Structure 1
Amino acid sequence: MTLPSEIKRMECTDNKPGAKAFSAAETQAVYRAIFERRDMRHFSGGSVAPDVMRRLLTAAHHAPSVGFMQPWRFLRVTDSALRLRLKALVEQERLLTAKALGEREDSFMRLKVEGICDAAELWMVALAPGREAHVFGRRTMPQMDLASAACAIQNLSLAARAEGVGIGWVSMFDPLAVATLFNMPEGSTPIALLCIGPVHTFYDEPMLQQEGWATRCTLDSLLFENTWGQAL
């Protein structure tokens, strides 16, 4: 993995941490997890030790959340028949997505989009019911519950990369069908199926970039100053 030049330069910096700053090695490890994290689709079976899984979930639960609402809920799937039903729901949506992509249908159908039956662990992440009671930070932007839960998933993903565990976020499903399958209460919403487990190797670059589906935008093309579209 080749880190961006801005991060590589840190290796040569004489970092003299303050009272709460990380050491140079600790800081480098954080950036390494960020830049080597991958959304995985290829898993090698095996298992995730219970203490490791607990650490990953603890990392997720320590994510920031708007108004400290902590909207995330995690449900472990251990029933193999239930896995197959989830896989069927994902496949159903995969076919519909392919049709919606028009001329890119064939290219899309060649992509591997999930590892539901291959990963050691499968967890469903959902938004809890009763979120309307959390007004702090959500009065004009109610979608901040989803943003907060996404932070939890990112925490879990970064912790997993540090542990050498692969994570694949699957969102290609009908949320109502998944909610029904899990007998979820009214007002709750499934947002992710997380495939978690050992992998043979982590992708050198994001899989969709590796497969030629898309490329990462340059950072400078996304930075503006004072007004939209004004380059920084």
Structure 2
Amino acid sequence: MTTFPPAQADASAPASDMAFSAAERSAVYRAIFERRDMRHFAGGTVAPDAMRRLLTAAHHAPSVGFMQPWRFLRVASSTLRTRLHALVEQERRVTAQALGEREEAFMRLKVEGLREAAELWVVALAEGREKHIFGRRTLPQMDLASAACAIQNLWLAARAEGLGVGWVSLFDPIAVADLLQMPAGAEPIALLCIGPVHAFYEEPMLQKERWAKRCTLDDLLFEDAWGQALGQPVPKP
């Protein structure tokens, strides 16, 4: 499956002598464009050394002020997994009700793979984050942004390893923190379902199910002023 734009795989000479080779560049773009938020898993297992590689990739993500706010907790207990699934199901129903006229369509979607995935990991923001001021004095949410980069690193590494990842955020963070005995100030942000899949979706599942579609890139690019199209300078007053 090759879903990335052909231009991204162009073997023409790189713009910099520090660039990767054409094959290496193509592999990077392939991982980006073929990454999927997976809900369907094939059971099985993830080898410990492969899981370690994914976590190492996550830990090498950028973080504002080098604060490294991410923490990863493996859910090995089947009882805990069942209780987490119950919390997700509870929030799924509340979310459906909040969607109003789209409630029934939402309830038809498969939104998680907690019971089928080989591995379940909880990603959380560590306690004591308030002590990190560098880069966060006016933008304290940079801890969350940094942790999201770690998750993306893991996601891309997993795709390269042939493993699926699904990010589940349908849960009450206080309930999950209590269940996993997190210290005060720690905040769960993701339940990551990780493991073998029968196949990767040809396109994002929510796009395939016509829940939403990817925006046109040019509609999101501005220059000099909000809403001013790229390449169209702001008129002089």
| TM-score, normalisation: structure 2 | 0.95
For 1:64-79, what aligned pairs fall within 5 Å after superposition? Answer: 64-79=62-77
**8 Å Cα contact 2:3-2:34 kept in structure 1:** no
Secondary structure at the residue paired with 1:187? Answer: coil
| Residues 43 and 196 in structure 2, CA contact (< 8 A), matched pair in contact too | yes
1:123 matched to 2:124? The reply is: no
Question: Which residues of structure 2 form unaligned runs of 5+?
Answer: 231-237
- Partners of 1:156 and 1:5 lie apart in 2 by 25
The runs of at least 4 aligned residues of structure 1 exceeding 2 Å deviation read: 14-17
Uncovered stretches (5+) of structure 1, i.e. residues with no partner:
none
- 2:61 alignment partner in structure 1: 63
Q: Is the 8 A contact 2:37 2:205 kept in 1?
A: yes
CA-based RMSD of the aligned residues comes to 1.0
2:46 aligned residue: 48
What's the offset of the Cα at 1:125? 0.3
AA partner of residue 229 (structure 1): G
Counterpart in the other structure of 2:180: 182
CA distance in 1, matches of 2:219, 2:55: 35
Counterpart residue type for residue 125 of structure 2: L
The two structures have a TM-score, normalised by structure 1, of 0.97
Asked whether the equivalents of residues 17 and 23 of structure 1 are also in contact (C-alpha less than 8 Å), the reply is no
Q: Distance in 2 between matches of 1:187 and 1:104?
A: 35
Partner SS for 1:196: strand
Deviation at 1:5, TM superposition (A): 4.4
8 A Cα contact 1:16 1:23, kept in partner: no
SS of the equivalent of 2:159 reads: helix
The CA deviation at 1:21 is 1.9
1:45-98 deviation digits (Å, cap 9, x = unpaired): 000000000000000000000000000000000100110100000000000000
Q: Does 1:22 align with 2:14?
A: no
Q: Distance in 2 between matches of 1:142 and 1:211?
A: 35
Distance 1:138 1:16 in 2: 34
Deviation at 1:15, TM superposition (A): 4.0
> Taking every aligned residue pair, what percent have the same amino acid on both sides?
75
User: Offset of 1:173 from its aligned partner?
Assistant: 0.1
What secondary structure does 2:102 align onto? helix
Q: In 1, are the aligned partners of 2:42 and 2:196 still within 8 Å (CA)?
A: yes
- Mapping of residues 50-199 of structure 1, within 5 Å: 50-199=48-197
Aligned residues: 229
C-alpha deviation, 1:2, in angstroms: 2.6
